[in-house]
Amino acid sequence: MALPTFVDRVALHVSAGRGGNGVASVHREKFKPLGGPDGGNGGPGGSVILRVDPDVTTLLDYHHSPKRRAEHGGHGAGAHRNGAHGKDLVLPVPDGTLVTDPQGNVLADLVGPGTELVVAQGGRGGLGNAALASSKRKAPGFALLGEPGDELEIVLELKVVADIGLVGFPSAGKSSLIAAISRARPKIADYPFTTLVPNLGVVSAGDTTYTVADVPGLIEGASEGRGLGHDFLRHIERCAALVHVVDTASIEPGRNPVDDLDVIERELSRYGGLEDRPRLVALNKIDVPDGRDIAGFVVDELRERGLRVFQVSAASGEGLRELTFAMAQIVEAAREAKPVVEAKRIVLRPPSADGSDSFTVKLTGEGWRVRGEKPERWVRQTDFSNEEAVGFLADRLNRLGVETKLAQLGAQEGDAVLIGHPDNAVVFDFKPGIDAGAEMLGRRGEDQRFDESRPAARRRRAIDEAMDDRGEGETRADVARRLDKPETYGPTSYEIGGTDDPDWREDDPGE
């Protein structure tokens, strides 16, 4: 089986690097027993970047290796040492590469040397416990996990960036013409479909230098998939002008230059998007006696259509100078009208789960599904083997308003709450009314919010409810003392032993 040497369309699976995990560490030094948290952050994962490289002309490398992955970020360490950044993976692509998703939606059009597309963003590194410390959480016993990087399927489609496109029937002499006016050396033979890939040549005419490309195998029905032209018509979409190379010495019965021109124009019209390109006509092979006579018969008819017609011979070189300078004139005019393309950096950012920075809650057959960029990211960062980390997640979700929203929509205690994509959602049991707050955390690695017995919390709620009915001049401490009397508010109501309980003070700071 012959290996391909030119590939202009390839499916590519790209995976960005995962962010490194943060670390929970405590500074240890002789004579300093309370050194404080010193866990470093994880490093971000590497991104996958497509960069236009003028020296690359094919997508062959990605045809052989269709899966590419960037480097993961390093994990954090103690002594405030952050993890290393994952190295970005830069993939060189030819100028004129179109990036789409498998459904055909255009993600980016990479034109201009140096243009970059960050197609897969590396995951963020997790925070260490030093970064999570606060005035209320002085020594966190947990750290955040790194986020996974983006992973997606993309399709790279090459559209050659050429100034002039040559179109015509097989064996019309397109490859011979490119070889005659440039240093390109395409395969040339006396049978149809000799050229299997687009040829690209660089032509100089006076002070103007431009590129010329041809479309192989363009025949009637090419726009519907016949021949090879359907696969390669995309390569002339960026051309400033089209040159019809017409065979004036064809020996096939029923063919003549005017009909050949009409057939190619119909296929271009069916393909679409090329109606505004200037046209030139090159009546080729006039070195053949019959070819020169036939060219003389049709040249006036073609000029009456408003076309610029040149009688040329790729074999003898006759008429090529006039043709190359006419092409240069069109190229110069197109370049002056076209704005300068500057190298730019494009970052492909997938939309959030609900299309905004907030979140949505919907009742499904599996339970209450919560979608949103923040809740899903926080879930990915949580180490569910650490109760304190789970408590921290509960704090964040509560501050965001997830619990309040669930209660408003009618969620009942014990209902299933799913956060994340349906394929890998994390399931929780809804438990409304659980107090959250860093000041309620107990020993490192423990979270009192998971205890069924919360007398101090119930006591505060009871005091808050009684404050609405307090007497004139009665303070919060007076209300608390009144509630401590068994005849007013028995111990069984909030299961607490009285004001000696260490979880309550007269100057209760609240939740």
Of the two residues 190 and 50, the one the predictor is more confident about is 50
Mean pLDDT confidence for 98-106:
91
Long-range contacts, 448-454 (Cβ 8 Å, 24+): 449/391, 449/394, 450/387, 450/390, 450/391, 453/495
Q: Which tokens go with 359? A: 């979140």
Mean pLDDT confidence for 327-351:
79
> Which has the minimum average pLDDT: 90-99, 253-262, 322-331, 451-460?
451-460
Most confident range, picked from 212-221, 367-376, 457-466: 367-376
**Residue 347 host element (H or E):** strand 345-347
196 marked ligand binding residue: yes
Cβ contact 61:77 at 8 Å? no
3-state SS, 300-338, equals HHHHHCCCEEEECCCCCCCCHHHHHHHHHHHHHHHHHHC
Q: What local confidence, expressed as pLDDT, does residue 348 receive?
A: 73
DSSP 348-379: --PPPTTSSSSEEEEE-SSSEEEEEHHHHHHH
Mean pLDDT confidence for 283-296:
86
Q: Cα(415)–Cα(393) distance, rounded to whole angstroms?
A: 18
Which of 209, 211, 171 lies closest to 192 in space, CA to CA? Answer: 171
pTM passes above 0.75: no
79 marked ligand binding residue: no
73 marked ligand binding residue: no
66 marked ligand binding residue: no
> Which structural domains are found in the chain, ordered by start?
1-158 (2.70.210.12), 164-337 (3.40.50.300), 359-494 (3.30.300.350)
- Would you give the DSSP letter of residue 12? E
300 marked ligand binding residue: no
Q: What local confidence, expressed as pLDDT, does residue 500 receive?
A: 41
Of the two residues 491 and 381, the one the predictor is more confident about is 381
Which of 43, 107, 31 lies closest to 75 in space, CA to CA? Answer: 43
- For residue 384, count other CB atoms closer than 10 A to its CB: 11
DSSP 437-503: -GGG--STT--GGG-S--HHHHHHHHHHHHGGGPPTT--HHHHHHHHHSTTTS-HHHH----TT-TT
Cβ contact 413:428 at 8 Å? no
31 marked ligand binding residue: no
Q: Cα(94)–Cα(112) distance, rounded to whole angstroms?
A: 9
**Residue 225 host element (H or E):** none
Most confident range, picked from 254-258, 329-333, 421-425: 329-333
216 marked ligand binding residue: yes
19 marked ligand binding residue: no
Decide: helix, strand or coil at residue 297: helix
364 marked ligand binding residue: no
User: Where would I find the beta strands (DSSP E) of 70-150?
Assistant: 89-93, 97-100, 106-110, 116-120
344 marked ligand binding residue: no
Mean pLDDT confidence for 100-119:
90
> Which has the minimum average pLDDT: 54-58, 313-317, 340-344?
340-344
- Measured over the CA atoms of residue 220, residue 225, residue 229 and residue 235, the dihedral's sign is positive
Q: Cα(279)–Cα(262) distance, rounded to whole angstroms?
A: 13
170 marked ligand binding residue: yes
Mean pLDDT confidence for 246-274:
82
174 marked ligand binding residue: yes
Which of 195, 227, 235 lies closest to 211 in space, CA to CA? Answer: 235
* Arithmetic mean of pLDDT over the chain: 80
- Would you give the DSSP letter of residue 13? E
Q: What local confidence, expressed as pLDDT, does residue 67 receive?
A: 94
169 marked ligand binding residue: yes
65 marked ligand binding residue: no
Q: Which amino acid is at 488?
A: T
- Pairing status of strand 308-311 against strand 279-284: parallel
Of the two residues 495 and 288, the one the predictor is more confident about is 288
233 marked ligand binding residue: no
The upper half-sphere exposure of residue 36, i.e. CA atoms within 13 Å in the direction of its Cβ, equals 10
pLDDT band at 142 (very low <50, low <70, confident <90, very high): very high
Mean pLDDT confidence for 409-418:
88
Q: Which tokens go with 346? A: 């494009």
Q: What local confidence, expressed as pLDDT, does residue 184 receive?
A: 65
46 marked ligand binding residue: no
Of the two residues 103 and 188, the one the predictor is more confident about is 103
Q: Which amino acid is at 318?
A: E
172 marked ligand binding residue: yes
359 marked ligand binding residue: no
